[in-house]
Amino acid sequence: NAGVTQTPKFQVLKTGQSMTLQCAQDMNHNSMYWYRQDPGMGLRLIYYSASEGTTDKGEVPNGYNVSRLNKREFSLRLESAAPSQTSVYFCASRTNRDYNSPLHFGNGTRLTVT
């Protein structure tokens, strides 16, 4: 009964370092999303993948790249981390692009960039 699994849970990086946030879902969902959550700003969409093999930019894509490795996995990469990327990152999935279907979220990755 895993749902959406994110790793790692916590990470501290120095400015300029790179890392990849991993996300996997076991619900056979087509669409997957990466959001960042910052105080007072709600959740903002970074990138999404409407189906395996496709990715698109969201509201705040600068400084990030993504890979939809297969139907289950959708990773987010920071090539050169900046303090402005300190945030909590959430991966989510949904069964299809139907705008009525709910998102299922992972428990988040708390990233600090010093």
Interface contacts to other proteins, rule CB under 8 A: 4, 31, 33, 40-45, 48, 50, 58, 90, 92, 94, 97-100, 102-108
Nearest partner of 111 among 48, 18, 49, judged by Cα: 18
Residue recorded with tokens 């990755």: 109
| Min dist. Cβ of residue 80 to other proteins (A) | 27
Choose between 29 and 113: whose C-beta lies nearer to other proteins: 29
Q: Are strands 109-113 and 10-13 parallel, antiparallel or unpaired?
A: parallel
Choose between 18 and 107: whose C-beta lies nearer to other proteins: 107
Cis geometry, peptide bond prior to residue 8 (ω within 30 degrees of 0): yes
| Min dist. Cβ of residue 43 to other proteins (A) | 4
